[in-house]
Amino acid sequence: MKKQAIVYSLLASMMALTAACSSDKTDGTAPGDARPADNKAATEVKKQPVELVFYTPGAGYDETFMDIFGSEIQKKFPYITVKFLSASTGQLADLIASGQTIDVLLVSIGQSNMLTAYNYQYDISELLKSKKFDLSHIEPSAVELQKGFANNGMYGLPVFTNTLANFYNKDIFDKFGVEYPKDGLTWDQLKDLAKRLSRTEGGKTYNGLVMSSSANIGLNQFSVAYIDPVAKKSIFTSEKFKQAFNLLTSVAQLPGNGLTEDTWSLAGQQKMFFQDQTAAMLLHFVNTGLTTLKEQFDWDIASYPQLPNNPGVGASTYPTYLYVTKTSKYKEDAFDAIAYLTTDEFQTGMAKKGMLPILKDKSKGLSEFGKDNPLLKNKNVKALIPDKYAPSALISTEIVTAQSPGNAAFFEAYQNVVLGTKDANTALREAGEKYDAKLAELFK
């Protein structure tokens, strides 16, 4: 059970650091996706031993990485030795300064500006063609997101993903005699349910619905980012951004579901659900929910709410990618290793550990999801992956680079609106102006 918790902590680290993202280049269209049969020749041909160095900016996950990824690579490719470095070994800048070569960088889309910041980006499009690697088995939104980040090229391959779901406390629903949330609810239906649960009873205030506001705006179903990537300016005052923003703040404006100075923040809303057990539902990252929830109360999962005009479409995907770096001396070997990690064989095994797969055929991962984790027995795991992901807003290098200061600006506007100190138009205009000053400095 301890190892399972560490597995989920590894996943959470991939998205925590920044939240805290027609081509003339072909991808190869030959059959196969580097599944085991396609890699057979690579394992049979005598090859010189190589060491591949992987790095992630998280800390404390070395053993878990080797258990999930490293050992499987070495088993598949006996000539490869995997070495894993993380923030517990040293910061990337310090490792580079010391002369340490990194062959593969493991980061979420929100952290992917680290790749370009250190000039590590390497377009693997030619390797995709020469290896006859077919991307068609991978979730299309994860591929398109990478192409957007790589300016129609491909810097890396996704290995697992994250998205949003509705975690709920069955004990609170039972206490107030309210039916559990169903999969497929619209936002209005979910808010109606939240209103029925929001109340004060026995000297205790209960909120029907809370959320990670930054996660929900980052993976919003309107597919709107913080900035215009061409103008490199805030779009906080655009009608589309206002739609996404107002939807989230409207939850805190439901009767009885208000927030205070102590509860408006990410930490405050999480505490109400996980520790205080005074919030009935929580809209949050899948990996955060699975990391934190144990047996402290009776809980389950429902699908993320839908926009009425987009049935079956959930939040966007938030993949973690494996990037072959420009400085690697073993680019082909590194590519073979990361390609194997996208195969049906590896992905279904990974899903058993409770990690969201990046397969286009979602049934393959969900049929095995969480089978190695007793805590997920009888849970509604099919709700974790939507029929279709909303298109991601993190579609360019500029947008990913601007995400961290954008989160700070968003939090300022969100706080002012949910606490009632400013109206939405004023809060967004003022936060956007401050953000623009940061952007001018960032992109000068």
pLDDT in tens, 292-313: 998 889 999 999 999 999 999 9
Of the candidates 416, 257, 282, 289, the residue with the CA atom closest to the CA atom of residue 12: 289
Statement to judge: residues 68 and 148 lie in one domain: yes
Beta strands at 320-324 and 104-108: parallel, antiparallel or unpaired:
antiparallel
Q: Are residues 208 and 240 in the same domain?
A: yes
Written as six digits, the tokens of 50 are: 């190589």
Say whether both 283 and 401 belong to one domain.
yes
* pLDDT band with cut points at 50, 70 and 90 for residue 364: confident
Tell whether 357 and 227 lie within a shared domain.
no
pLDDT tens track for 194-241: 999 999 999 999 999 999 999 999 999 999 999 999 999 999 999 999
The answer on 330 and 296 residing in a single domain is: no
Are 169 and 343 contacting, i.e. CB atoms less than 8 angstroms apart?
no
Q: How far is CA 50 from CA 53, 56, 81, 328, in A?
A: 10, 20, 6, 11
Q: Are residues 13 and 139 in the same domain?
A: yes
Per the structure, the complete domain to which residue 325 belongs is given by 2-162+319-369
375, two tokens: 């805590």
Domain harbouring 46, CATH code: 3.40.190.10
Note if the pTM is more than 0.85. yes
**Is the per-residue pLDDT at 322 higher than 60?**
yes
d(CA 410, CA 243): 14
**Residue 390 covered by a domain:** no
Whether residue 238 sits in one domain with residue 194: yes
Q: Name the more confident of 19 and 273.
A: 273
Residue 15 has pLDDT above 60, yes or no: no
Residue 335 inside a domain? The answer is: yes
pLDDT of 62 reads 78
The conformational region for residue 165 under phi > 0 = left, psi -120 to 50 = alpha, else beta, is beta
Residue 388 belongs to some domain of the structure: no
Determine the 3-state secondary structure of 152 from DSSP. Answer: coil
Question: Are 187 and 246 in a shared domain?
Answer: yes
Q: Examine the pLDDT at 396 and tell me if it is beyond 80.
A: yes
Q: Tokens standing for 347?
A: 């992905």
146 and 99 share a domain? Answer: yes
300 neighbors 173 (Cβ within 8 angstroms): no
Residues 166, 282: Cα–Cα separation, whole Å: 6
Q: Find the range with the poorest average confidence among 23-32, 101-110, 279-288.
A: 23-32
The residues with which 206 forms a beta bridge, in sequence order, are 199
Q: How many domains does the structure of the chain reveal?
A: 2
Tell me the sheet residues that pair with 209.
281
- Residue 279, amino acid: A
CA distance 306 to 312: 7
In this prediction, residue 118 has a pLDDT band, given cuts at 50, 70 and 90, of very high
What angle is formed at CA 69 by the lines to CA 64 and CA 74, rounded to 5 degrees? 120
The rounded mean pLDDT for the chain is: 90
- Give the Cα separation of 429 and 211 in Å (integer): 23
- Find out whether 92 and 102 touch, Cβ atoms under 8 Å: yes
Q: Name the percent of the chain lying above pLDDT 90.
A: 81
Check whether 28 has a pLDDT greater than 80.
Answer: no
Residues 382 and 143: their CA atoms lie apart, in Å, by: 22
Q: Where are the beta strands (DSSP E) in 72-226?
A: 80-86, 104-108, 156-160, 164-169, 199-201, 204-211
Model confidence pLDDT, tens digit, residues 37-82:
344 434 445 689 999 999 999 876 778 889 999 999 999 999 999 9
Q: Which residue has the higher pLDDT, 36 or 337?
A: 337
